Structure 1
Amino acid sequence: MDEYATEENNKVESCTSILPHDIFTTIYDITRAIFRHLPIRSVDSCSLVCQSWTDISRLTKSHRHTIHTLTYPSNPLSTTTTCSNLLHDFDEFISLYINNHLWSLPTFALVVSTNILASKGFYSSGNSPPPIKHPRRVHSEAGSSKRITERFGISQALIRHLNKSCKVLMIAADGIIASTENNQSNEIESDDAIGILFLPHFPPDVLGVYPFEIPSTAQIASDMSRSELHRFLGSVPDDVQIRCVIFFFVQRQSYAVDCIKKLLEYYPSQIAIIGGFVDKINYDDRQIHTSRTSYDACGIVITGDKKRLHIGEVLLENHIRTREQIRDKLKELKYLETNPCLSFAIQISCIARGSNYYNDEQNVECSEFRKLFPSTPLIGVFGNGELGHDYLPKSNQTIAKQQTGKNLFRGYSSVFSLISLQL
């Protein structure tokens, strides 16, 4: 058995526990066993002690592939919870989570936010401590100094806590689906809230994540080659097969929509496509950009070997409106799940399929998903139109017929996609 397999399956195990197969013969073995129970920031701190600890830290991090989700505030639907817009409160929440719960170093963060919170952002205040890594500007007046209140966008506030290699894709919509670190999921339609999915680095044959943006001036040539399409969508290597694409559009009349036609041309029945129309998009690849460009769409290309990466997708159409019908449809994804700790799911729902659709009952669809997949991180948005189809390769059911760009666009529906990994 791989000595780190238990770590992946039991990442929340008490830090004081000893694994049954641990055999301690040297100080090195003891140190390595202790490191296996430390959150990632503690491992980083230990790496500064000596060369031996540096080597153990590097080995520990290389075997960590944990997917994380969190919600801010942690209980957004509680009547006693309010979402603070103070930067200090957000800093404190994120810092505590990263220091105590983050198990793997993230290389990509998908952030979903309600429009209300995305418009407000976070504000510093005179009583708050300086932001991490970025000293607040000081304004002198009449021989004394006082702090100036500054506004930080959601991505700006978050990246101050992340390693420089972590890219951030932020989506704002009327409503979001977010999960806590304990995999409690909520459909948040009217409250201020943020959901975050952290993905670590995986071996390329297991999971490749390629974020992309599509400028509003982009045009998709009718003779665009497969290689050109790959470069256009996140610079995917030519020899790598695209398995899934998650789109977020802000304009219905966009050249970006033509990407779907080309994808279906080169991958007629071998690709899962999911997406929705949202209000705001922002991608920060952590590089310095000297000019600002308007973008109509953004998204994520997912790649990986078919033996290691399993992807399925189901469509909940307008006529599906009872819990039993939802459950029966979501059960079609169950065969894909190989390891709950190495999987995540995307939910794109029409804004009309919220609590009003279910007689003021909240969390109907995400709670049915949670019953079937209690440990799988779930994140998503309520959009003004959905993109998706039934895609269930290797199931006992017939694979969905070849799709066209036109019949992928939906209304009054929800789309669930499950991405499951096998190391």
Structure 2
Amino acid sequence: MAAENQCCKVETQEHIAAYLENRELVRELQPLTCDARLVEQVASNYIIVKRMLGHLPWQDQMICKSVCKMWCDAVQALQRELQGPVDFVYEVVEDVDSGMLKSSGSFSKEPMAVIVFTNFGGFCKMGNCTLMSPRPCTPACSEVHWMLDFLDQELCFPKDCDLIVRASYLCYMPLASSPSSAYTINRDMMTTTLPFICGIYIPKIPNVQYEVVNIKTNSDMKMDFFDVVDRISSTRTFKGILVFVTDKYMLNSIDDITFLNHFKKVQPETPYALGGCIIEDTMFDRRDLSFFINNVNTDVLHRDAFISENVVSVCMFTVPKAQEAQDSGSGCNCNFEMFSLIIESSDWPKPKILSAIKEFAENIDHFEHSVVFKLSCIGRDERHDFEQKSFRTHFPSTPLIGCYGNGELGVNHPPRPEPKPKPSANTVKRQKRLIAELGLMYSYSTVFVYMGWGKIVKPAKT
């Protein structure tokens, strides 16, 4: 197993490090002999430059923006053209220190958010630098790298925009046209222990901001959550929230989830999407990645090792408030929306599930670019394939990703009619209904969170 070898952190590429440190980079390279006049003509031709820069990863494009105004304009034009999400899977082999990144597109636009889902096997997986594709180091070193650290370097660095969610069971359903479609997770794969890493790469969207707060203890709640939400709400509107609660912060009562009502307090008139579930661990801070790498060389790897100490991770997607956007002359329409749907009970028959998904699809705008997060209870594994296929029927161009947990959080946006209580309901069911009426905590349920941006290709019926 790779973990038995010394794990080495992936080095930051020297030109990226020099750019971040604002220092000159001197390389001992033999310059190519070519016509300087021809080089100047090529470098000053907007069409040629734009085409060349389009083949570079976003980190290199970030540096190229500093060359001159024309190159900056070319990069900005490329960023406007590449708006769609990229789903990806990192193919890992259980008994071999190798891996290969497969995706539905290129990572050539600056990301807004990269959300990675991994099971325990994928979380622990390491690979030999020479056997990984693409190779973490150039030239390849002889060391072993943690695959999640490699993904952070490849997709996110130097931005802090990735969230790693560790759960026992994952959801992944890319489009049929995606090179990663062969890795779609169906019910038969639910019980597998093979390592699995998948994720969604959401490009930078005009006017939209993504922010994550990690809460370590209840005593940190005010500083790490309430103060942050208050600060954001003073100038921005919440469109959607993803909540990942670790099993160190179990949701056993209404009191455990009242902190999420703060979103409604600061934004009482404007609805928002919300979905989440109880999972095993999250990582957002690069210090957590470094902590894992520093300890894996000395400690025995097991299921309770290397936890980040996060009890709750909250991902917030916001847009400028209408008045502020109008003052800036950009208008308040950011062409970005998020919606959420709760399949509330394990005893819902399939026709009722299908009807709820169809109603949801008819009552929301469909966007040119979209992704859906599926956050479900592991007790619904028998409905796994049915729910995914039903959602795909009504959202044929939307990749689906997510995980299974042991308790779900959500709100219905747009709202749905409240179910009438059964006269014969016992005390336990009445307590569960009381919690559900808050529109936050559920059990044996599935929560879909739809995120869309760009042109509206199919407006809502209502």
**What is the TM-score when the length of structure 1 is the normalising length?**
0.69
SS at match of 1:303: strand
**Structure 2 counterpart of 1:240, which letter?**
R
The amino acid of 1:178's aligned partner reads: Y
Indicate if the aligned counterparts of 1:230 and 1:238 stay in contact, CA closer than 8 A. Answer: no
Task: State the match for 2:33 in structure 1.
Answer: none
Out of 83, 89, 93, the position equivalent to 1:65 is 83
**1:47–1:263 Cα change, 3 Å:** closer
Counterpart of 1:338 in structure 2 is 366
Please state which structure has a larger fraction of its residues in helix: 2
- Matched residue SS, 1:161: helix
Instruction: Give the Cα–Cα distance (whole angstroms) in 2 for the partners of residues 346 and 126 of structure 1.
Output: 34
Matched-pair contact (CA < 8 Å) for 1:249–1:298: yes
Runs (5+) with no aligned partner, structure 1: 1-26, 74-81, 138-146
Report the Cα distance in structure 2 between the residues aligned to 1:43 and 1:272, rounded to whole angstroms.
Answer: 31
Letter in 2 for 1:317: E
**How big is the shift at 1:405?**
8.6
Is residue 2:91 matched to residue 1:124?
A: no
Aligned to 2:217: 216
What RMSD in Å do the two structures reach over aligned CA positions? 4.2
Q: CA deviation at 1:346?
A: 1.2
* Closer/same/farther in 2, CA of residues 32 and 375 from structure 1, 3 Å limit: farther
* 3-state SS in 2 of match to 1:295: coil
Distance 2:221 2:288 in 1: 25
Q: Distance in 2 between matches of 1:344 and 1:399?
A: 27
Q: What are the within-5 Å matches in structure 2 for residues 318-397 of structure 1?
A: 318-319=345-346, 321-334=348-361, 335-341=363-369, 343-354=370-381, 357-358=382-383, 363-392=385-414
Instruction: Name the % identity.
Output: 16
Whole-Å Cα distance in 1 between the matches of residues 308 and 401 of structure 2? 27
**Stretch moving more, 302-311 or 165-174:** 302-311
Q: In 1, are the aligned partners of 2:86 and 2:202 still within 8 Å (CA)?
A: yes
Q: Whose Rg is larger? A: 2
1:16-415 equivalent positions in 2, closer than 5 A: 30-31=47-48, 34=51, 38=54, 41=57, 44=60, 52=70, 55-73=73-91, 83-84=93-94, 86=96, 88-90=98-100, 93=101, 97=103, 101-118=106-123, 120-124=124-128, 132-133=136-137, 147=142, 150=144, 152=146, 154-162=147-155, 163-180=157-174, 182=177, 184=181, 185-187=184-186, 188-191=189-192, 192-204=195-207, 207-220=208-221, 229=226, 231=228, 236=232, 238-250=234-246, 251-253=248-250, 257-268=257-268, 270-284=271-285, 294-304=309-319, 307=333, 308-319=335-346, 321-334=348-361, 335-341=363-369, 343-354=370-381, 357-358=382-383, 363-392=385-414, 407-415=439-447
**Partner AA of 1:114 in structure 2:** N
Gaps of 5+ in 2: 1-43, 292-306, 321-331, 420-433, 456-462
The aligned amino acid for 1:109 is V
Deviation, structure 1 residue 230: 5.1
Q: For 2:371, what is the secondary structure of its paired residue?
A: strand
Separation in 2 of the partners of 1:131 and 1:32? 27
CA distance in 1, matches of 2:242, 2:49: 38
SS of the aligned residue for 1:330 comes to helix
Question: Does the 8 A contact of 2:117 with 2:198 survive in 1?
Answer: yes
1:69–1:196 CA contact under 8 A, matched in 2? yes
Conserved? CA contact 1:275–1:386, under 8 Å:
yes
Note the alpha carbon deviations across 1:109-154, whole angstroms, 9 max, x for none: 1001122322x322327877995248888xxxxxxxxx56x451x4
How far off is 1:350 after superposition? Answer: 0.2
Shift of 1:161: 1.1
Offset from partner CA, 1:191-233 (integer Å, 9 cap, x none): 33122111111122xx321122111253446xx9xx9725158
SS in structure 1 at match of 2:413:
coil
SS class of match (1:375): coil
Per-residue CA shift, 1:218-254, capped at 9, x if unaligned?
Answer: 3446xx9xx9725158x63621122221110113347
Deviations 1:257-288 (A, max 9, x none): 44213223333462322110001111136899
Kindly tell me the number of residue pairs found equivalent between the two proteins: 355
Structure 1 residues 398 and 348: alpha-carbon distance in aligned structure 2, compared to 1, 3 A threshold: same
- CA distance in structure 2 between the aligned counterparts of 1:353 and 1:28, rounded to whole angstroms: 57
Q: Per the alignment, in what secondary structure is the counterpart of residue 339 of structure 2?
A: strand
Q: How big is the shift at 1:34? A: 4.8
What's the offset of the Cα at 1:414? Answer: 0.4
Note the C-alpha offset of 1:175.
0.8
Distance 1:279 1:62 in 2: 37
The one-character-per-residue Cα deviations of 1:68-124 (angstroms, maximum 9, x if unpaired) are: 112233xxxxxxxx745655423xx25xx49x6335332321001122322x32232
CA distance in 2 between counterparts of 1:89 and 1:289 reads 21
Q: How far apart are the structure 1 equivalents of 2:131 and 2:357?
A: 48
